[in-house]
Copies of this chain bind each other. A is one copy, B any other.
Amino acid sequence: MVTGKLDSERRARVVIVGGGFGGIAAAKRLSKTDVDVVLIDRRNYHLFQPLLYQVATAALDPSDIAAPIRSIFRKQKNLRSILGEVESVDLEGKRLMVKGDPLRYDYLVLAAGATHSYFGKDEWAKHAPGLKTLDDATEIRRRFLLAFEAAEVECDPAAREALLTFVVVGGGPTGCEMAGAMAEVARSIPDDFREVDTKTARVILIQSGDRVLKSFPKESSDAAYDQLKELGVEMKLGPRVTEVCADGVVCGEEFIAANNVLWAAGVKASPLGESLGEGVELDRSGRVVVEPDLSVAGYPKVFVIGDQAAAKDAKSGEPVPGVAQGAIQGGDYVGNIIRRELEDETWVERGEFSYFDKGNLATIGRNKAVADIRGFKMKGFLAWFIWAAVHIMFLVNFRSKVSVALSWVWTYIFGCRGARLITGKSEYKVKKTHGDD
């Protein structure tokens, strides 16, 4: 399948699975090395996942936060990009299977990421979509916008209330960002509707722990809580969600009638880890437990990075968090190891991976955000401004930067969102409607 000219030259081949932050970073480190790099992804684009919730809430367009992988590597001639899904890895045979075809590797970097986890209740998925892919985002956008459309023609007050109740399960950064953005949208479009007062929409954030953003310092959690409250988000801290169905969720003792539930509670690693065989240890979330150099025990030329890896910081012994900077640093580290081992035969010392925490940012709404940068905590406009600047800075290509900046300035000034399109099926269920006349 992926043979061709390259194979006859008998150069070493590095296969990277996944074009997320980790895979892209690893591949870039190999740009000047005499090696064949093959990057495989199920999608033809790199996704800037931290802004995915903005597509789901109609502030940005899909192409604002996604860049074709081929464009990113246009000039890196030693890299070939393959659109395809890796089915399994054969560690002994040093090859992986892509659509039934074997693909040989000398070095392997697994960076296949994570997906939502419903903690064994996979039947909840259809009622409570999660937010990991562009298709997830447009689907959530579709459901979110359709709810207002359906409410506009719904005459039964209870049914209308359920349509205008949005439940977000999970109070991590994605959950907080989604809840904040949904509340903002609902408050910004009352003039679009005649029958429904969109300001009466309820956004409920459920978090089983005692605070939101538990990966942040307590102070930031409290600030996020206050800012969400200011936007009108109702927060339920403590009880767990025990049931999700088409009509709503059960949270502790309470049933909340809601037609829209968003899942932001749990993630599990790509199932690809399971195909590595019994000798390879996985943690409870399916992540591969890696050595201090991010390699798989017994297979020094196989690395796992990003959300797919259960890695520890060499200095603190703390787990490396599943965020973009963890994946990028892992990709850089692994890419450098491979480059040196291929370029310099005398070089042997790999050292251990240490994670440098540049800080954490979460945004809640316009002028509302929290930041924790190396112990320095900020909130409100300053945190929001830093958040916006950092995210624009990190967007992969320049065109996206201009477009995103423009969209944000527009939304900031006029408070309205440009991408409020319902694509795909535009059917909605209305439980009970009155006849006309």
Contact = CB atoms under 8 A, between A and B. Distances in A.
Interface in A97-126: 99, 101-104
A184 interface: no
Contact of A406 (B70, B402, B433): B402
A143 B420 CA distance: 25
A77 B95 CA distance: 65
Nearest to A103: B436
Interface string A374-400: 000000000000000000000000011
A194 B424 contact: no
Contacts of A153: 1-2, 82, 84
Contacts of A101: 433, 435-436
B71 A420 contact: yes
A428 B1 CA distance: 14
A254 to B, nearest CB: 31
A336 to B, nearest CB: 24
Contacts of A241: none
Interface in A135-172: 135, 138, 145-146, 149, 152-153, 155
A356 interface: no
Contacts of A84: 153
A3 B421 contact: no
Contact of A421 (B45, B77, B194, B402): B45
Interface residues of A, number: 68
B152 A82 contact: yes
Contacts of A435: 1, 101-102
Contacts of A102: 435-437
Contacts of A191: 74-75
A104 B421 contact: no
Interface string A66-104: 101011001101001011100000000001000101111
A245 interface: no
A422 interface: yes
Instruction: Please indicate which of the listed interface residues A95, A149, A153 has the most CB atoms of chain B within 10 Å of its own CB.
Output: A153
Contact of A423 (B42, B134, B189): B134
A192 B70 contact: yes
A421 B63 contact: yes
A315 interface: no
A255 interface: no
A250 interface: no
Contacts of A63: 61, 418-419, 421
10 contacts: A1-B433, A1-B434, A61-B63, A70-B189, A70-B193, A82-B152, A101-B435, A104-B437, A135-B423, A400-B418
